[in-house]
Amino acid sequence: LGSLCFDFPIPEGLETSFCGLTFPSPLILSSFKDDEDIINIWLKMGLGGAILKTIMVEPRDGNARPRIQQVEVNGQPAILNAMGLPGKGVFALVQSLEDDSLWKNKKPIGFSIGGGQVREYEEAFGVLNEFLEEKRSGYPYFFEINISCPNTDHGKALSQDPQAVKQLAWKLRQRTEVPIGIKLSPDQPNDSLQEFARLLSGIPNIFLTLGNTQFRRCEEVGLPANALSRGGGGL
């Protein structure tokens, strides 16, 4: 009954073009969990596209529990997330995408890649890019390079080195023509964000994402210090 329960048509007039991709709606889900069945439900409900949860080269358990808490900030419900990028690893991901129903939606799919060092990003990208070029050529997809995860020890390492990110972006651009996004953090000062924009503006089909979570310590949002295993997370 999935199609009957979750199938909602997107109203006309919402189609949005960006970086050569066409989204039937400008609303997309960002870096969501890698449960393709649930992502498929959200797409059926009317979203215009999806970005899969940030994947790394090796399988990752994520942070110790507790690692997610519901909070209230300025009178609004919110989530403090310290998951720590749990995932099955890039090799298992491409296997799961072999016969995936996600591709039947014909909506752009983004693949978010994480790491601590440049070589990790390159390796994960290489595995995904090879699979997509061979198996899904012609399907609207894009990449996202996540250098702003606040919940791992090295998830923000590259955000402190704009030149390294520029070199990484050029290396990846030489291997594909599809859009590539660089996911920065709203915790970064404006001059840092502007520096990334300046350095990356000369690379074709590159965009910036400024929508990651903002790091908050548990005490800042009214939680005990041990409410999350890392003492804080992304709001």
Rg (CA), the chain: 18
pLDDT, tens digit (0-9, with 9 covering 90-100), for 177-192: 999 999 999 889 999 9
CA-CA-CA-CA dihedral for 117, 120, 110, 84, to nearest 10: -70
Q: What's residue 35's pLDDT?
A: 80
Q: What's residue 6's pLDDT?
A: 85
Report the distance separating Cα 121 and Cα 152, nearest Å: 15
If you write DSSP's letter for every residue of 143-188 in order, what string do you get? EEEE---TTSSSTTGGGG-HHHHHHHHHHHHTT--S-EEEE--TTS
Residue 3: strand, helix, or coil: helix
- Give the contacts of 95 (CB within 8 A, at least 6 positions apart): none
Is the confidence at residue 169, as pLDDT, over 70? Answer: yes
How many helices, marked H, and strands, marked E, lie in the chain? 6, 12
Q: What's residue 180's pLDDT?
A: 98
Q: What's residue 100's pLDDT?
A: 74
Q: Which residues pair with 183 in a beta bridge?
A: 146, 209
CB 79, CB 138: distance < 8 Å = no
CB 75, CB 82: distance < 8 Å = no
Q: What's residue 1's pLDDT?
A: 64
Q: What's residue 3's pLDDT?
A: 65
pLDDT, tens digit (0-9, with 9 covering 90-100), for 2-29: 667 888 899 999 999 999 999 999 999 9
CB 203, CB 37: distance < 8 Å = no
Task: Give mean pLDDT, residues 69-84.
Answer: 95
> Could you give the percent of the chain with pLDDT greater than 70?
99
The DSSP secondary-structure symbol of 60 reads B
φ/ψ of residue 19, rounded to 5: 55, 35
**How many C-alpha atoms does 171 have within 13 Å on its Cβ side?**
14
Report the distance separating Cα 36 and Cα 106, nearest Å: 15
The DSSP secondary-structure symbol of 130 reads H
Is the confidence at residue 126, as pLDDT, over 70? Answer: yes
- In which order are the strands placed within the sheet that holds 76-81? 68-73, 76-81, 232-234, 215-217
Name the token pair of 185: 């953090």
Band (pLDDT 50/70/90 cuts) for residue 52 is very high
Band (pLDDT 50/70/90 cuts) for residue 172 is very high
